Amino acid sequence: MTILDDSVSVAAPVETPAAAAPSRRKARRKWPLSLVVGIGIIIAWVAITLVVPPLMGRSATDVVYGAKLLAPSMDYPFGTDALGRDILVRVAVGFRYDIMVAMSSVFLATVMGLVLGAIAGTSPEWLDNLIMGVTDVISAFPSFVLALAMAAAFSPSPIILIISIAVVFMPYYARTTRAVIMTEKGKPYADAARAMGFSAPRIVFLHLLPNSVPYIMTLIATDVSGAIMVTAGLSFLGFGVQPPNAEWGLMISEGNSFIISGEWWVSFFPGAAVMSLISAFLLIDLGIRRIQQKF
């Protein structure tokens, strides 16, 4: 699920993983343009975050006295903020926060979803119902609202942020995993594994679970883009990354009071950064789907 709640599958002819396997090598010969562009943007960001701060010789929290709210110039290509900090350096450093929080939360969501889905798919009915009930309740909330409520209930920190986003994104992974386990556990190879005397956890995690990977892979790129949006949104409202750290959503909110007085650059550049990174992951998602369609 993304922040956009893109989970309503109107047309979801999901191909079976078995049918997806054979022609993989063929598809790899030519990557879709969107995939290349998406990955290119992310590589560019990694380069920017590594190269820019040393190149400018300033850190994200360095305050230059007498340099408050300077418009973009040769010295400060993105201008400076209300405290006299270099916005270019802050945008470059901000990438680290947003990508780390977004990727960790999606990773955590995947792990939680896999484990809960596997438990639900193999356990007695009451436990299955309980776990699925919990995921239903989570999906009942608009995702941004729940993440906001969770982040607000605890003292704000990146860890809380990651956990909040992960919980909100978890249900889809749990439900998919459960569905896959349910269908796979009756198949002959599962019987064979059982007949060989393998333990239940081994069968579940090594034999059954990998079948859900193709389904989950398609969702990860979209979810990372959604997680970036939630991270920036929560920080914008003051419930995510806290000052004086350089995080894009926080930087946009720091520019909020200057927008009606014309200092556009304070929030323009971090916002453009958020947009480029989210679009990069959406493009990657698009590319992955193009590849899958070829199978």
Partner 1 sequence: MAVLTYALRRLAWTIPTLVGALVVIFFLTQAVPGNAALARVGLSVDPETIAAVKASMGLDQPVIVQFWMYVQNILQGDLGHSWKTGNAVTFDLAQRIPATIELALITLVITIPFAVTLGVIAATWAGSWIDKAIQTYALLGMGIPLFWLAMMSIFVFYFLLGWAPPPSGRIGILDIAPPYVTGLYTIDSLLAGNLQLFGSVVWRLMLPVICLTLVSAAPLVVMIYNVMGVQLRSDHIRAATAAGIPRGQVVGRFALKNIMIPVLTMTAHLTRLLLGGAILVETVFAWPGIARYAVESMQVADLAPLQAVVLIITAFTLAVNLIVDIAYFWIDPRVKVAAA
Contact residues toward partner 1 (CB under 8 A) are 3-6, 8, 10-11, 133-134, 136-138, 140-146, 148-150, 152-154, 225, 229, 232-233, 236-239, 249, 252-253, 255-256, 259-262, 264, 267-268, 271, 274-276, 278-279, 282-283, 286
Nearest to residue 96, comparing CAs of 280, 228, 233? 228
Q: Which residues pair with 41 in a beta bridge?
A: none
Q: Which residue lies nearer to partner 1 by CB, 7 or 49? A: 7
Residues 6+ apart with CB under 8 A from 245: 60, 61, 97
CB of residue 243 to partner 1, shortest distance in Å:
14
CB of residue 288 to partner 1, shortest distance in Å:
15
**Spatial distance between the Cα atoms of 25 and 5, rounded to a whole number of angstroms:** 33
Q: Which residue lies nearer to partner 1 by CB, 8 or 196? A: 8
**Spatial distance between the Cα atoms of 58 and 89, rounded to a whole number of angstroms:** 7
Q: Which residue has the tokens 């022609």?
A: 23
CB of residue 66 to partner 1, shortest distance in Å:
25
CB of residue 24 to partner 1, shortest distance in Å:
24
Q: Which residue lies nearer to partner 1 by CB, 166 or 274? A: 274
Nearest to residue 155, comparing CAs of 230, 235, 240, 233? 240
CB of residue 195 to partner 1, shortest distance in Å:
36
Q: Which residue lies nearer to partner 1 by CB, 112 or 209? A: 112
Q: What is the DSSP letter of 15?
A: P
Residues 6+ apart with CB under 8 A from 148: 233, 234, 237, 239
Q: Which residue lies nearer to partner 1 by CB, 150 or 203? A: 150
DSSP 112-161: HHHHHHHHHHHS-HHHHHHHHHHHHHHHHS-HHHHHHHHHHHS---HHHH
CB of residue 217 to partner 1, shortest distance in Å:
19
Q: Which residue lies nearer to partner 1 by CB, 193 or 266? A: 266
